[in-house]
Structure 1
Amino acid sequence: MSALAVPGLEAAFEVEARLGPLEDHGTTRAGHRRVVPVVGGRVTGLFEADILPGGADWQLVRPDGAIEVDARYSARTADGGHVYIRTFGVRSGRPEILEALLRGDAVEPSEYYFRLCVRLETSVPTLAVLEQCVFVASAVREADRVRYTAYRIT
């Protein structure tokens, strides 16, 4: 039997998602729920597209302070095609660092952990290969945006 391939990472695309004001929904049966609207942005790299307003990040703040990320939004290419983007992952760090991020303070990305899995969906034939790949990302939270580089797992 042949040895299994060892996965690698290949930079695929970059995302800058602009965010609206955080909506704190308080403690629900699932936990402390927050919703952060996605109001625009840009994707560059393997494909180029504008992020459309109307998506959001449905966050769950865990008892340990870590934030479970569940973001869903759409992007439109220059020729009118759509790409549905879903990210899920975790942002964690020391309590004072997470509080600084919540206030919108500038924090060095090395001070906290923010990693995502990225799934793409599209009906555009020339972008269909995006649906056949697995992507992971390293992200940065800024006052009014999230930026990340997505890597295709080879």
Structure 2
Amino acid sequence: MTGVQPPVPALEPAFQVEVELGPLEDHGRTRAGHRRVVPILGGTIRGAFDGTILPGGADWQLVRDDGSIEIDGRYTGRSADGSLVYLHAVGVRSGSPDVLEALLRGEDVDPRSYYFRTAVTIESSSRPEFERSLYVASCIRDANRVRYVAYRVT
């Protein structure tokens, strides 16, 4: 099938997540870089499935020399039917130094003034259809929470 082009991916809205955050734990400079951990206290999932985010997850961040943050969020949701869903969000939050400092202080910042995107993968023994797709998310950082819309890549 020489000359056949691959399908062009599109994005379809899949679900929305709102994660409540605990106080930032600053570990300082480690062998991996400037490490910070942000505990996840709970939250909600709405859309392709509805549920709650369970306490106990966290975002294990690395702060780059330019102030950008490498996101590595791992947490568990419980869907309305009681089944567990593991979510893993990997991405980057970047912006000008003054905007990143304002976010760190917990100030309201227009989400168009910074870049905050993640790739989200899902594991679920009861919902295998979510394991067969890729998701990308556009995120907002509020003082004590992160909100995002995840889009399924078609």
Which TM-score bucket, shorter chain as reference? Answer: over 0.9
- 2-side partners of 1:64 and 1:40: how far apart? 30
- 1-side partners of 2:27 and 2:20: how far apart? 20
- 2-side partners of 1:149 and 1:38: how far apart? 18
1:46 to partner: Cα distance: 0.4
Q: Who is 1:33 aligned against?
A: 35
Q: Who is 1:132 aligned against?
A: 132
Q: Who is 1:58 aligned against?
A: 60
Match of 2:110 among 85, 95, 108: 108
- Corresponding letter in the other structure for 1:61: V
- 1-side partners of 2:137 and 2:118: how far apart? 5
What fraction of aligned residue pairs are identical, expressed as a percent?
60
1:20 to partner: Cα distance: 0.3
Runs of 4+ in structure 1 off by over 6 angstroms are none
- 2-side partners of 1:77 and 1:66: how far apart? 33
Unaligned runs of 5+ in 1: none
Unaligned runs of 5+ in 2: none
Match of 2:98 among 96, 99, 102: 96
SS at match of 1:135: strand
- 2-side partners of 1:39 and 1:74: how far apart? 11
1:64 to partner: Cα distance: 1.1
Q: Who is 1:10 aligned against?
A: 12
- 2-side partners of 1:96 and 1:21: how far apart? 21
Q: Who is 1:145 aligned against?
A: 145
Deviations along 1:75-124, one digit per CA (max 9) or x if unpaired, are 00122100000000000000000000000000000000000000000011
- 1-side partners of 2:134 and 2:49: how far apart? 15
Q: CA RMSD for the aligned pairs? A: 0.6
- Corresponding letter in the other structure for 1:52: L
- 2-side partners of 1:77 and 1:15: how far apart? 12
* Count of residue pairs the alignment pairs up: 152
1:118 aligns with 2:116: no
- 1-side partners of 2:111 and 2:79: how far apart? 29
- 2-side partners of 1:75 and 1:15: how far apart? 10
TM-score for the superposition, normalised by structure 1: 0.97
TM-score for the superposition, normalised by structure 2: 0.97
